[in-house]
Amino acid sequence: MGLANDRRPRSLSKATDGYVRFLSVCCEEHFRCSVLFDTCPTVRSGQANRSVGNPGMTRAAAGIVLGIYQRVYSILMGTATRRRRLETRALLIEAGLRVFAARGIELASLDDVADAAGFTKGAIYGQFPSKGAFLLALFEQYAAVARAGSGARQAPWFIPLTLQFAAHAVRDPLLKRRFAIVLSEAGTGAHTSDAELLRALARVLRPSAPPQSPGTAS
């Protein structure tokens, strides 16, 4: 995902900004080594580079140093890119929980989610190729919150999205099975109102046992 597609919401962590600052230092050192390697006559000739205050810096040594800086720069760039991608994904899912709870699974769009999260359309489509892929990620996050306990389930979007998933599960057999499992696991033990709702929905969505034939009935 290119930076052109990312408006960088303020909620991106300070750790990422720290990576960027550290990368800028590496870029500067990378440039200095490149200049040293490419323009210094004493380095190119293999002689000691005393003119720039590095006695004993030969062409081979300069090449090794430059290679190290290039490797470190490449690793840090990859780490920062992966970190920013994960943060973008988390922000999109967080916004999706609110948007889908408010507008419904059928009416909410990925464009709505991107706008709510403060990103462009390119950012969300770079993370999720389709609405179905986004719904799967959304359900996984919902399931994690549902299993986390009553405290986590106090999020304003939780009950509305629970009802949205329940309505959608009636028409989607695969979601129905997965949703019933999540509800059964999340509703055990607690006696809060949200747990009672989860248990009630689990009973409704639980697959019914096949009827027994007269010959096998006891």
Query: Lowest-confidence range among 36-45, 78-87, 130-139, 194-203?
Result: 36-45
Within 8 A by CB and 6+ apart from 114, the residues are 92, 95, 120, 121, 123, 124
Minimal CA–CA distance to 206: which of 182, 171, 190?
182
Do 31 and 113 lie in a common domain? yes
Q: Over the Cα atoms of the chain, what is R_g?
A: 28
- Residue 177 belongs to what domain range? 138-205
**For 6-44, how does the pLDDT look when each residue is reduced to its tens digit (9 = 90+)?**
454 544 455 555 555 555 555 555 555 554 455 444 444
Q: Is residue 151 part of a domain?
A: yes
Do 116 and 62 lie in a common domain? yes
Do 117 and 170 lie in a common domain? no
Do 117 and 145 lie in a common domain? no
Q: What is the domain count for the chain?
A: 2
Which residues make beta-bridge pairs with 49? 54
Q: What is the pLDDT of residue 214?
A: 54
- The helix (H) or strand (E) run that includes residue 61 is helix 59-103
Do 21 and 49 lie in a common domain? yes
**For 38-61, how does the pLDDT look when each residue is reduced to its tens digit (9 = 90+)?**
544 444 444 444 444 454 556 666
End of a domain among 125, 147, 176? 125
Query: Lowest-confidence range among 142-146, 152-156, 159-163, 186-190?
Result: 186-190
Average pLDDT over residues 200-209: 77
Q: Is residue 42 part of a domain?
A: yes
Do 118 and 186 lie in a common domain? no
> Does the pTM of the predicted model rise above 0.75?
no
Q: Is residue 10 part of a domain?
A: yes
Do 17 and 108 lie in a common domain? yes
3-state secondary structure (DSSP) of residue 151: coil
Q: Is residue 121 part of a domain?
A: yes
